[in-house]
A = this chain, B = another copy of it.
Amino acid sequence: MTIYEVAQRVGVSIATVSRVVRGHGEVAKETRRRVLEAVEELQFRPSRLGQSLAEGRHAANGIVFPDLSGPYYAEVILGYEEVAAELGSSVLILATHGRADPDRKVLDLARRVDGMAIMGRTVSDGVVAQVAATGMPTVLLARPPVGELDTVTTDSDASARELVAHLLGHGYRRFAYLGDPAESPDVTARYDAFRAALVDAGSPPPRAPLRCAFDVPAGREAGQRALARSPRPQVLVCANDEVALGALAAAQQLGLSVPDDVAIVGWDDVMAARYAGLTTVRQPMRALGATAARWLQDRMVVSRFPVRREVLQTQLVIRESCGQHPVDMEVS
């Protein structure tokens, strides 16, 4: 079903059909009626490819993320899709984690979209720069800036400072950090912020992080390593909630009580964190994605636009896992 068949059926040119369908240009009332009738009868829908090729735009944009497992990325993507869809863009998603040749895949995605958001440690700065160099509107998410690209991240410093103050207030002095700063820019930022907060508070810097992946099993394994250290750390500060939940399991397995024998804190505030009673730092994940989509739109509409950088606020959420509190500080 092409525009030609419609035109032929009505006995007009394809230009006229196009005008009617798009609602641009002037068309005689009667002609319009006949065209619309044929469109309806033939169930004509213009080919997106033909349209895009002629218009020179895809009306789509993409988001690249490490992987979708874990509620964190899912939420970001939801926020992104919601805004993008509102703005009339289709959304393409691309997970790179654990996949062969992520660079190629990102470059490939770049050929199907008008703009893209790139999250975390998915591809190298070089590839990001390469994509951006083609003139592709690009925004970076939860990732250090590259060149003059728009970048939206979430705060680690303020909440790390709050967290450390809170933990020191509990009287804790021996900390272990679980997570691999090399794995993700987020972890890097979180670890650095944690370390800086500790040092600024006059404490000795923490030992090197116990490196582990970003999931529950890895957290458990790292938790076991941490808790085997002597003297045993009083607090396990974890790169994200899943690692913290793993650490929780490790403690349980060793017969240690949380928080009496060891305190555990996470990062993100995924749904499970509430039920595990995990003290954590809440991330505005939806807002992260929504912001990226909005900025992308701005860049696609206005050619020259000042570079944007924004650090979204996070919130320390105190629950039971970091120590006994006089009253429940968070109920709901």
Contact = CB atoms under 8 A, between A and B. Distances in A.
Count chain B CB atoms within 10 A of each CB in A93, A109, A134, A272 and give the residue with the most.
A93
Given A74-B74, A271-B272, A81 B60 contact: no
Interface string A65-82: 001110100110110011
Q: Say what secondary structure dominates the interface of chain A.
A: helix
Assembly of this chain: how many copies?
2
Interface of A: 43, 45-50, 52-53, 58, 60, 67-69, 71, 74-75, 77-78, 81-82, 85, 90-95, 99, 105, 107-112, 130, 134, 245, 249, 270-272, 274-276, 332
A85 B100 CA distance: 11
Given A49-B49, A67-B78, A109 B95 contact: no
A68 B50 CA distance: 31
Contacts of A48: 111-112
Contacts of A276: 275
Contacts of A58: 49
Contacts of A95: 78, 81-82, 85
A90 B94 contact: yes
Nearest to A99: B85
A224 to B, nearest CB: 14
Given A49-B53, A78-B95, A90-B109, 10 more contacts: A45-B111, A47-B53, A47-B111, A69-B75, A71-B74, A71-B271, A85-B99, A85-B105, A90-B112, A270-B272
